[in-house]
Every structure is written in C-alpha cells, then in structure tokens.
Amino acid sequence: MQFKKTLISCAAMAMVLGTGVFAAGTIDIQSASADTSAKKIALSNNYAGNSWRQAMLKSWEKVTGQAVSDGIVAEASAFTTSENQVTEQAAQIQNLILQGYDAIVVNAASPDALNGAVKQACDAGIVVVSFDGIVTEPCAWRIAVDFKQMGAIQLDYLAGRIPDGGNLLEIRGLAGVFVDDEIHAGIEEGVAKHSQFKIVGSVHGDWAQEVAQKAVAGILPSLPEVKAVVTQGGDGYGAAQAFKAAGRPTPLIIMGNRQDELAWWKEQKDANGYETMSVSIAPGVSTLAFWVAQQILDGQEVPKDLVVPFLQINQADLETSLETTEKGGVANVEYSLDDAKAVIAGE
C-alpha cells in the first residue's frame, strides 16, 4: 500500500480518507495471531489538557475498542496522570506492572526520567512502546516524529513568504517536555539558517489555545512589530485572538492542525487572501503504537526505532482538510493493522 505517500500528502490523505482518518472499520481477526487474544495492553499517558491529547485518547479508544471486540487482544485500557509529573507517571507504570499488563504504550513526560520504571517493566517481561514523548531506555521501542524538522520547516516556509525577514514571536509548548525542546531546537536552527529573522519574544502556550492567547496578550505590549509567529500546535488561533484584541496587525501565524485554527484560517483566506501553513503530528499515532505493541507480542520482528512523518496542511489543502476535521478536533490519521505492518516494514 502507498502508506507513506498517503500520510505525507494531506491533500491526498483527505481524498482517500473521506472522514479524516485511515481507518479501519472491522479488523479481520485472521490478520492477527490468536496468540495475542489473551494479552492486555495499557496506555500510560502523562497529560490530557489540550485538544490534541483528547483526540489522541479518542483515537486510542476507537481503534483499540474494535480490536478488543474482534478478540485480537483482551484489554487495551488508557491511564492518564492528573498532572504532568514524572514521579506520578513512574508510579503509574509501576502499578501497571503489578496489574499484569503484557505491554505498556507510553506517551512520556520525560525522555530519560522514566527510564527506571521502563526498565522495571522490561525486566518483568513487559513490552514497552513509547510514542510522541519517547523514552531513551534501550529496552523500549520508540515511534518518533522528527520534531526538530517540524520546527525547522516553519522557517523555510517563512523564508519563501517573507524573503526580507523580520521579527518573530515564538510560542512554545509544555515546558520540560521532550517535544517542546525538539521543536524549539528546530526553530532555533531555522533562524540560524535564515538569519534575516529574529526571535524577539517567546512564551509557553502549553499547546492550548486559551493558555497561548493569555501568554501572547501578556507579552505583546513589550514587543516591536511582529512579522510572523512560529508555533508548536494548539496555539495559532489563540495567538490570532491576542493580536486582534491588542489592535495590532495580524502577522503570518503558523497553524497546528486544530479545527479552530483551520476554521479561522479559512475565514481570513476568504476575507482577505490570508496565507499560511499548518503542521503537527497526527493524534492517531497512539493507534500505531498500539498495533506495534500487538505485533511485538505476536512475535514479529520490529525495529526498536520507527519514524512517522508529521502531517502538513498547505494553502491548497485547507478546505478539504477542514471538511474532514471534526469541530473541536484535530486533523488526524488513525492506523490500521496493515498500516502498522507497512511502517514496521519500512514501506
């Protein structure tokens, strides 16, 4: 199947998906080994306070619920910590070990601070698959997006749109999380490459529109003219509202695939030809992690490190992408067992 090409092109994705997701319908139980029918897989998630995380959990519930109904696995429960704290998630993983799960899928609060708990799980014979927020413990599997490149391409885009450069406002994600650090590093590399741009302000938006709006509103009075806003996802619409409330011209804002961002972008495009781009990781990557864990439990050979592309929406893709993204949600891709097999095979 043309999996990678389908995922990389958002326009093609929308045409193929119709509903905005790969998916899956009923999964043929014959395509998965009955050896995993008694296996239990848990999701350990460190944070659920924004639309991306909510969509991620919804995708997990949808796809794994079908897998349980089809008898592919016995259980696929999701557990989210109340706070984004490493100690709390480590305790959660230790509890999952005691509860007898066969595999734990982890969206980690830290790439290395959870390694002790992860190693305990591995030593107990439990498969650990990390995604989005990955872990560095060698015994675990990792499903990663090149987050640094996700930051760097924003500057490449801006260099094409604003050749003379200008001042930038950077909206970062959740402080202390691997994803935030990587995207920020990519943005810094992009600024070094395109030296006509200068970051004149930086705030943490926590990947949430309300937080981003408040943070941007707080820093705007101290900033000179801002030509563009570089972001991490879940913050573009909030930034736009903050500029509007301050009576300042709307800069070019990189969006993050949230439905409210896409809807605002379309309104501006229809009104005045506003142009931008949008980029994020698909929340449904959690379902890929589930199938990878299932395949490992099934005895398949799976590389320790898998890479999936991020999801980019360009000006020409906007209307189709908006139509296939539910209100309050995020442009998404959910993975079937066959999709996972293709990623594992490097196709």
* Domain spans of the chain, in order of start: 3-145+282-310+325-345, 147-280
Q: Which residues contact 273 (CB under 8 A, 6 or more apart)?
A: none
Would you say 73 and 64 are in contact if contact means Cβ atoms under 8 Å apart?
Answer: yes
- What CATH number does domain 3-145+282-310+325-345 carry, 3.40.1110.10, 3.40.50.300, 3.40.50.2000, 3.40.50.2300? 3.40.50.2300
Q: How confident is the model at residue 145 (pLDDT cuts 50, 70, 90)?
A: confident
* pLDDT greater at residue 177 or residue 131: 131
Q: At a CB cut-off of 8 Å and minimum separation 6, what does 346 contact?
A: 303
The 3-state DSSP class for residue 109 equals coil
Which residue's entry shows tokens 């509103």?
Answer: 217
> Quick one: which H or E segment has residue 219?
helix 209-219
- Quickly list H helices, 194-317: 209-219, 236-245, 259-272, 285-297
Instruction: Work out the mean pLDDT of the chain and round it to a whole number.
Output: 90
Do 22 and 5 meet the contact criterion of CB atoms below 8 Å apart? no
Query: Minimal CA–CA distance to 207: which of 81, 91, 330, 294?
Result: 330
Q: Read off the pLDDT of residues 121-135 as tens digits, 9 standing for 90 and up.
A: 999 999 999 999 999
Phi, psi of 258 (to 5 degrees): -80, 150
Q: Which of the four CATH numbers 1.10.4160.10, 3.40.50.2300, 3.40.50.150, 3.40.50.300 does domain 147-280 have?
A: 3.40.50.2300
pLDDT for position 240: 98
In a 3-state reduction of DSSP, which class is residue 4?
Answer: helix
For residues 81 and 46, the answer to whether their CB atoms sit within 8 Å is: yes
The span from the CA of 245 to the CA of 217, in Å, is 8
pLDDT band at 28 (very low <50, low <70, confident <90, very high): very low
**pLDDT single digits (tens) 192-238:** 999 999 999 999 999 999 999 999 999 999 999 999 999 999 899 99
Chain segment 40-59, per-residue pLDDT in tens: 999 999 989 888 999 999 99
Q: How confident is the model at residue 83 (pLDDT cuts 50, 70, 90)?
A: confident
- Identify residue 283 by its one-letter amino acid code: P
Q: What's this model's pTM, rounded to 2 decimal places?
A: 0.82
> pLDDT, tens digit, for every residue of 288-309?
999 999 999 999 999 999 998 8
Listing DSSP states for 134-151 in one string gives ----TTSEEEE--HHHHH
Residue 120 belongs to what H/E stretch? helix 115-123
Nearest CA-CA partner of 274 in 282, 266, 286? 266
What is d(CA 41, CA 107) in angstroms, rounded to the nearest whole number?
14
